[in-house]
Structure 1
Amino acid sequence: MHRRIHALRLQAAALAAALLATTALAALPASATGRAAANDYCGGHCADILPPGENGNATLADILGNKVFGTRPAHTDDQLGPYAGLASAYPSLTDGQITGFFNDSSFGVPADQVASTSSPRPDVTIVRDKATGVPHITGTTRYGTEYGAGYAAAQDRLWVMDLFRHVGRGELSGFAGGAAANRQLEQSFWQAAPYTEAELQSQIDAISNEGPRARQALTDAQAYLDGINQYITQSYNGRYFPGEYDLTGQINAITNAGGIAPFKLTDLVALASVVGALFGSGGGGELASAQVKSAAEARYGTAAGDAVWKSLREAEDPEAVQTLHDGQQFPYAQVPDDPQGAAMPDPGSVVPEQLIYDATGSAKQATSKAPGVFPGNLLTAKHGMSNALVVSGSHTDDGHPVAVFGPQTGYFAPQLLMLEELQGPGISARGAAFAGLSFYVQLGRGQDYAWSATSAGQDITDTYAVPLCTTDGSPVTLAAESYLWHGQCTPLERLARQDSWSPTTADSTPAGSYTLVMYRSNYGLVTARGTVGGKPVAFTSLRSTYRHEADSIIGFQMLNDPGAVHDPASFQQAAQNINYTFNWFYADSSHTAYYNSGSNPVRAPGVDPGLPVQAAAAYEWQGFDPATNTAQYTPPAQHPQSVDQDYYVSWNNKQATDYATTGFGMGSVHRANLLDDRVKALLANGGKVTRTSLVQAMESAALTDLRAEDVLPELLRVIRSAPVTDPALATAVQKLENWRADGDQRKETSPGSHTYADADAIRLLDAWWPLLADGVFHPGLGDPLYTALTGALQINESPSGGQTGATSGSTSANESIPHKGSAFQYGWWSYLNKDLRSVLGDQVAGPLAQPFCGGGSLAACRTTLLGTLTSALAQTPAQVYPGDSDCAAGDQWCADTIIQRPLGGVTDAKISWQNRPTYQQVVQFQSHR
């Protein structure tokens, strides 16, 4: 069998090589062309980067060459080196060196930098540059422009686009194999957005009734699809389509039997639902919050327990870093003094809703020998995403605003995003867009302005406790399939998706199938069942953007239109038309601006959005219509917004005063502090910011261990409150202090050394942190509350993901997506910081309601810290860094490394850890229209 497979692969490789040679001979020659005709007001001061590289398509021959010889197609990884290199080079960076670590993102391509020119239609030209291979698409008609965008997208990301349209439909394993991770991922997306084909179409139909811009957007989308489908036809006939279709059995490598299904408008809605679920939704943690509240009240009594819950929740922490710091207030989702309609689940009664039915074969174990193409917990694990640093012109070197910003969408090969430039009637932009949705640039720059976003996560998702009932009068149990809607017993709607897969030659696991089932009510999707006051209920998730993922198309269209966006006010108007929960940032040559987007539902008076709510008319969203899943939303003026604040920083932190967070983790220590402190330092004493200094501030934060910078000082103060007499502990404390003096960073001793400076101190803190959390808080919280709290907020989010602090029954291990780069958003940083400062006698605004470390005694707290530090010292490197399929146990540098997780057949090299956006811009516009 192995010989036969090897022979087939050799034949396929030879065939593909021959076809590639033929294609190369037939390719259009590169023609000389100047920069695009569109006006560019950046004056060479705009740059961007998106690793690993623009080219995300590889033929079967390319994939086999990568496996056997380590070769890669051109432009597959050429942005990875510059991205990685900034970590060591940033301290001595100059303005003239920025384009050594970022791409020049000026419009067009200089004549001597043209690599290729092609025209899939007479009314569009695609020019690719030599440096990066980015497509620069210029159309003489709008249809041609969008057609070219689709054609270029398929050239660069066809396989990824196909993966995601299957993910969005809960069909990944049937398409890409039955790996456990694939099945876990398709299940989580089916839980978030289980749509029938008719419901996908209904979103398109609804948009078509929203006016001229919406109808133009659908016309643009269809032209884009036409370009994709032309490339599919040509690449299939010419056998230069992505080789993953061969490897997964979609196309026979020898006979070419099979095919690639053409893309259609409903595929774009499926893709949009994936993006919205990953990056543009917020809230939904009400059950976890309720369980913390119940456990706290059981531990401390009702009044004291409620106070403990509120202090751990940190919904309105006065010490939380905020994006808007100019005194504005934007009340939303606040905790009422006297909550109405709360539906507290009976302790121990909550059980997750059954999702998988009728499993056969390997599906009973949901596993196969092959790895998944995505992390299985890509959606369910908490993710930190994106940052922004924007400084107004009054504080910069030349009087023009400076911005360094971008989204953190993870690291994949090929990347989920792609770069492009679009120039045509009513469109003028360059930047990044999600593969399969790139008919508009979603984050990037226009002629004289740039924009970016960070995930905001404000609460647009509520949990309702829906009373179960039976239509035949039989006793009501948790298995009931009907619920009360305005007094009527109404059947739950059953949404089912059949999935199956066949093993590839590399995977001999027997094929299996199952049916994914979600139940839907007028109050949303059923996610769990339990009892409230002894009565069976279904807990449902009601998200305002559900069935409306495609609505944001109008806002993105406006951001690409130079006639629509030309100043802060018009930028904010465009952002208002995006219903996902994002923080939007803007910079032109004179102004900066900010706007928080999202369909924020107006709740009934007195409802606490951080707890489950009774399913009754009195507690529904104002103006709620279940037929269309619409409601009354807060008006634009009530969304956090600003123009020309001295500076803005965002790293998924709190937006503004009174804009409450309903999750946990927005307290005194947040990774946004790393940005805020550095920008404040640049502005101190009248300092003027440059592009270089703002990049340096970003990169310094990207390499810093938040725990070391903002919690370790208090830990050391407690320990140093008395002499440390044990020699081993004294040495350990000194190493930690030396690391603090060196800047708290996780950086190599020299580029490529694969060894950290202060390696022992870093390993010690990694080992110590989960032991600290347990030692300080577990005794006071007790088992039930400690476990409940880890379900609401994980203990740790380390660069390696290997030190979770998970306990039996805990969900802390949700942080463990290894090698993901993003770190230090979710953790118990604030809890330790506030508690230790209280023990030390410092003034603490918004303190915890109970003392924990040593019961509030400094001496007893010190004993706890030293005891847990002793335990940390006893851990071997292999225990701290357990190892995985990519790294040996004990390899500290490798454990932290960023890996471009392969979505296809080509892999890329590891790079050193840094905590920064995946796609990033550096902009300082020099003039304006």
Structure 2
Amino acid sequence: MPRHHPRTRARTATGTLIATAVFALTTGLLSPLPHASANTAGKSAAAVTDHCEGQCADILPPGANGSATLAEILAHRVFGTQPAHAEDQLGPYAALSSGYPSLTDGNLGDYFGDESFGVAEGQTGSVTKPRDDVTITRDKKNGIPHIEGSTRYGTEFGAGYAAGQDRLWLIDLFRHIGRGELTSFAGGALANQGLEQEFWPQAPYTEDDLQKQVDYIRAHNGARGAQAMEDAQAYIDGLNSYREKSKKGRYFPGEYVLTGKVDAITNIGEIQPFKVTDMIALASVVGGLFGNGGGGEVESAMSLLQSQQKYGVAKGTEVWESFRGREDPETVLTVHDGTSFPYAGKPANPKGAALPDAGSVDKEPLVFDRTGAAGAKNPAKDPVSAPKKLKPLQGMFDKGVLPSDLFSGDSAKKGMSNALLVSGEHTASGHPVAVFGPQTGYFAPQLLMQQELQGPGISARGVSFAGVGMYVQLGRGQDYAWSATSAGQDITDTYAVELCAPDGSTPTKQSTHYRYRGECVPMEKLERTNSWKPTLADSTAAGSYRMQVFRTKYGVVTHRATVGGKPVAYTALRSTYRHEADSIVGFQMLNDPSYVTDAKTFQQASEHISYAFNWFYADSRTVAYYNSGANPVRAADIDASLPVKGERAFEWKDFDPADNTSAQTPPEQHPQSVGQDYYVSWNNKQAKGYTAANFSLGAVHRADLLDGRVRKLVEKGGVTRASLTRAMADAAVTDLRGEQVLPELLKVIRESPVTDPALAAAVQKLDSWEEGGAKRNETSAGSKSYAHSDAVRIMDAWWPRLVEAAFKPGLGDGLYDALTAQLTVDESPSAAHGPTGAHAGSAFQYGWWGYVDKDLRKVLGEPVKGPLGDDYCGAGSVSACRDTLLKTLGEAAALPATEVYPGDDSCKAGDQWCSDAIIHRALGGVTHKPFQWQNRPTYQQVVEFPSHR
């Protein structure tokens, strides 16, 4: 697209901004962001009993403060300074990857912050009173807001006010993402377009749709629903109060100046008021990222057809099911006591399947009328490199306010998060220990924000997603703590609706009418037109485009095809569609000390959360687990993994499209447990019979890294907070392939002596690495190099080559491509092409680890439960498989680091450490340095309650 010449652009932007800043500072128009009044004396913000007694800790990098004035942004860009509390939690968080081997309960404070209630005497950093009935006290160390209200309204008002202090710009961004209006708000960079195109089609709501969701919560949840909406309004009132004061006082976030919303000199411009419906739009983004599950049935149908074409219908179905792995007997389970919770499994005699005719599937177009934009591709699917290293002030948001690589593709794949809990009978103290948290990615500022809420009916501390923080969503109460991991069970189905023409003529695949319960009815056409112009922060040329989707009673149209020669539209129907914020009632309960008093009431609160999450609980007496989600009750004999006919006989039970309601499975049918010896979760399978919505839950899963370590701790006994944290941290720097699959690879290779010197050297390096624990961590803190760097390089280069060489000849090009489109082969930390993107931390969630492991064990003649439907590596021959592995190993070993790690805008080619390193994605004007890769939650708690109410 047309751009200014880079040197001219740099001079223009830098000169203008510095001149603006100097004038503004000297005339008093800009000031540091005030989080407090002049009164800094204050007592503890919480007059409640804290039963954790100093044994609760947490961490959330980079820091609590996520706002910066224009002056602070300029100082950061020119001089490298950071606003107060913007990154003071990054150092302790990063240090754990090298410091964990010597971790003790005594030095946990070096790596985690104190999660006690209130602010200790002498540790008050600031006090703000936005109203007489609420006080916001921030601690000196981290600047976390402790909000204490004497009234319910005041408490929630204070929560909204503190959210404005810490995340005003971020909240504004996300309400525009949820409405599909990011480019009009923040500029037309391809990454911003990609975000609109990723999220808006999932929830293409009109303003009326958003208001109806607010009204639905009030009308269908009794007193708690009414209270939730009152709390939401109070929160919005507090957010708007800060918005107005910061605008009048000229200490609002500097990004509003950089994107042209407000003039820094005259203060002319507006920060649009917030509404309760903004929270619905925000919730749709958060839920789509972390609480969704299912979908992809069209792609599953196409891979099944490819398998049947390759092998014949019977054998092809068997082979496909073996890769689908709905009930792999070798996969790790969260509920491991044998209890079964059947859901969404394969029926014996499936009905209503609507598989497309071969070659007939077309993806529904989304983008139209594009002007002034580069290319015609959907930018959400284009490869996007890591955040650019910018010269001071140059092109601050030229790559987009948000990185599309984190959000690209199927948002249901953004699982992440882990949990480790051990029952008191296996701990040193006799009280349960938990180490858990969500892995929500690394942003500057974070999507999550820390807070403590104390007021009538509310007593909790932890984190909430910015903009929907009227309650703590993950954290602790007075004598209990809770956390979650994304569950991903199947709550989204694909329907094939028969197309028709209202005049009775022959329909085509492009027809915009469909049959619904016997009538030919029109699809609802929804559009969003966005336009933008260059700003100081985004040099993207002026342009515009239009997004368009068609909506039916069965959801939004995603594809068109023919089934049995008749044209159909495939639609995606999600049970949480039109119910983005219903979960608010469950969170309200979790924050209510009079409601949650034990494991059972915790589970009952979790039942009210509609999104697909695994919830974990610990108090001084027990640990517990519950899987939440609006699991629809499907018609009998429906195969949820494939598209189904859009006919009444195959609808969800009691389906009513008006509000998208249906019967849902009762709580007792959701995976749950109380008092199991231990629990681990890293987005793995929940329990026997509970079918996941994806292909990744096989014989090798990253949860194995936790399960093996925690099981050993439990068998030994005497588990402590430190030992459980060490187990998590050790798994966080371990290469899953190196620990779980490399032993089988080496077994096959060593079936005969390796005579080639170069291959023998490569094998020896891999063997030494595996014996050393297959780690990807620094030789010493700050060294920025790995102890077994050559072995890591070889594995990174070898894995994709060995998978393709072992499987593609047997599967054939068509089936191999279809299967790898559904489950990526590789997701190492440096695999920028993986579902999570480059420098994102989360790794090894998706890959062919289990397929390779099963195939190799079968080649070796070892026991395999739930084997693949055919032999692949060497067609089952040990010698032929060995030849394949050695050939690809030789190719990988010869590949230089500059090709394995080609570099990007943040890393030089060949820099292995940097290629793995985590980089906070800048959501605004403040950035942070890369740090050592570690595969762990972004926000994390370490808790052990010694007493109970």
| TM bucket normalised to smaller | over 0.9
Residues 512-523 of structure 1 mapped to structure 2, 5 A cutoff:
512-523=543-554
Q: Deviation string for 1:13-32 (max 9, x for gaps)? A: 23247356588799323104
Q: Distance in 2 between matches of 1:78 and 1:621?
A: 49
Residue 598 (structure 1) aligned to one of 629, 652, 656: 629
Aligned twin of 2:124: 114
Residue 663 (structure 1) aligned to one of 694, 698, 703: 694
Q: Give 5+ residue unaligned stretches, structure 2.
A: 1-7, 380-394
Aligned twin of 2:76: 66
Worse overlay, 465-474 or 547-556: 465-474
Residues 260-659 of structure 1 mapped to structure 2, 5 A cutoff:
260-362=271-373, 365=376, 370-377=398-405, 378=407, 380-381=409-410, 382-505=413-536, 507-659=538-690
Aligned twin of 2:749: 719
Q: CA deviation at 1:163?
A: 0.3
Q: CA deviation at 1:6?
A: 4.0
Q: Give 5+ residue unaligned stretches, structure 1.
A: 803-812
Aligned twin of 1:84: 94
Matched, 1:793 2:823: yes
The 1:26/1:274 distance shift into structure 2, 3 A limit, reads: closer
Worse overlay, 483-492 or 841-850: 483-492
The DSSP-based 3-state class of the residue aligned with 1:815 is: coil
Residue 258 (structure 1) aligned to one of 255, 260, 269: 269
Q: CA deviation at 1:284?
A: 0.3
Q: Deviation string for 1:508-546 (max 9, x for gaps)? A: 443111121110111111011111112111010000000
Aligned twin of 2:736: 706
Q: Distance in 1 between matches of 2:606 and 2:461?
A: 18
Q: Distance in 1 between matches of 2:172 and 2:836?
A: 27
Q: Distance in 1 between matches of 2:418 and 2:600?
A: 22
Q: Deviation string for 1:54-86 (max 9, x for gaps)? A: 000001111111111000101000000000000
Matched, 1:186 2:196: yes
Q: CA deviation at 1:297?
A: 0.7
| Contact 2:65–2:86 (Cα < 8 Å) also in 1 | yes
Question: What amino acid maps onto 1:112 in structure 2?
Answer: G
Q: CA deviation at 1:304?
A: 0.8
Question: What amino acid maps onto 2:277 in structure 1?
Answer: T
**CA root-mean-square deviation:** 1.5
Aligned twin of 1:753: 783
- TM-score of the aligned structures, taking structure 2 as reference length: 0.95
The 1:20/1:103 distance shift into structure 2, 3 A limit, reads: farther
Aligned length: 918
The DSSP-based 3-state class of the residue aligned with 1:68 is: helix
The 1:620/1:679 distance shift into structure 2, 3 A limit, reads: same
Q: Distance in 2 between matches of 1:364 and 1:172?
A: 19
| Contact 1:319–1:668 (Cα < 8 Å) also in 2 | yes
Q: CA deviation at 1:388?
A: 0.2
| Contact 1:283–1:663 (Cα < 8 Å) also in 2 | yes
Aligned twin of 1:216: 227
Question: What amino acid maps onto 2:21 in structure 1?
Answer: A
Q: Distance in 1 between matches of 2:477 and 2:32?
A: 38
Q: Distance in 1 between matches of 2:140 and 2:545?
A: 48
Aligned twin of 2:109: 99
Worse overlay, 774-783 or 27-36: 27-36
Aligned twin of 1:808: none
| Contact 1:840–1:858 (Cα < 8 Å) also in 2 | yes
Residues 217-236 of structure 1 mapped to structure 2, 5 A cutoff:
217-236=228-247
Percent identity of equivalent pairs: 61
The DSSP-based 3-state class of the residue aligned with 2:460 is: strand
Question: What amino acid maps onto 2:118 in structure 1?
Answer: G
Worse overlay, 490-499 or 503-512: 503-512
Q: CA deviation at 1:663?
A: 1.6
Q: Distance in 2 between matches of 1:300 and 1:29?
A: 76
Q: Distance in 2 between matches of 1:34 and 1:867?
A: 66
The 1:902/1:24 distance shift into structure 2, 3 A limit, reads: closer
Q: Distance in 2 between matches of 1:48 and 1:517?
A: 43
Question: What amino acid maps onto 1:202 in structure 2?
Answer: K
Question: What amino acid maps onto 2:767 in structure 1?
Answer: E
The 1:5/1:827 distance shift into structure 2, 3 A limit, reads: closer
Q: CA deviation at 1:506?
A: 5.1
The DSSP-based 3-state class of the residue aligned with 2:106 is: helix
Question: What amino acid maps onto 1:544 in structure 2?
Answer: S
| Contact 2:346–2:639 (Cα < 8 Å) also in 1 | yes
Q: CA deviation at 1:688?
A: 1.7
Q: CA deviation at 1:233?
A: 0.6
Question: What amino acid maps onto 1:467 in structure 2?
Answer: E
The 1:838/1:549 distance shift into structure 2, 3 A limit, reads: same
Q: Distance in 1 between matches of 2:518 and 2:12?
A: 66
Aligned twin of 2:809: 779
Q: Distance in 1 between matches of 2:31 and 2:202?
A: 45
Q: CA deviation at 1:815?
A: 2.9
Residue 946 (structure 2) aligned to one of 910, 926, 929: 926
Q: Distance in 2 between matches of 1:407 and 1:329?
A: 26
Q: Distance in 1 between matches of 2:446 and 2:418?
A: 18
The DSSP-based 3-state class of the residue aligned with 1:885 is: coil
Q: Deviation string for 1:403-429 (max 9, x for gaps)? A: 000001000000000000000010000
The 1:589/1:282 distance shift into structure 2, 3 A limit, reads: same
Aligned twin of 2:3: none
The DSSP-based 3-state class of the residue aligned with 1:637 is: helix
Q: Distance in 2 between matches of 1:23 and 1:876?
A: 48
The DSSP-based 3-state class of the residue aligned with 1:611 is: coil
Q: Distance in 1 between matches of 2:222 and 2:620?
A: 32
Q: CA deviation at 1:380?
A: 2.3
Aligned twin of 1:157: 167
- TM-score of the aligned structures, taking structure 1 as reference length: 0.97
Q: Distance in 1 between matches of 2:339 and 2:506?
A: 54
Q: Distance in 2 between matches of 1:922 and 1:790?
A: 37
Q: Distance in 1 between matches of 2:877 and 2:908?
A: 42
Q: CA deviation at 1:814?
A: 4.8
Q: Distance in 2 between matches of 1:314 and 1:7?
A: 59
Worse overlay, 896-905 or 815-824: 815-824
| Contact 2:370–2:545 (Cα < 8 Å) also in 1 | yes
Q: CA deviation at 1:379?
A: 5.1
Q: CA deviation at 1:461?
A: 0.3
The DSSP-based 3-state class of the residue aligned with 1:255 is: coil
Q: Distance in 1 between matches of 2:661 and 2:293?
A: 17
Aligned twin of 2:845: 825
The 1:25/1:93 distance shift into structure 2, 3 A limit, reads: closer
Aligned twin of 1:886: 906
Aligned twin of 2:66: 56
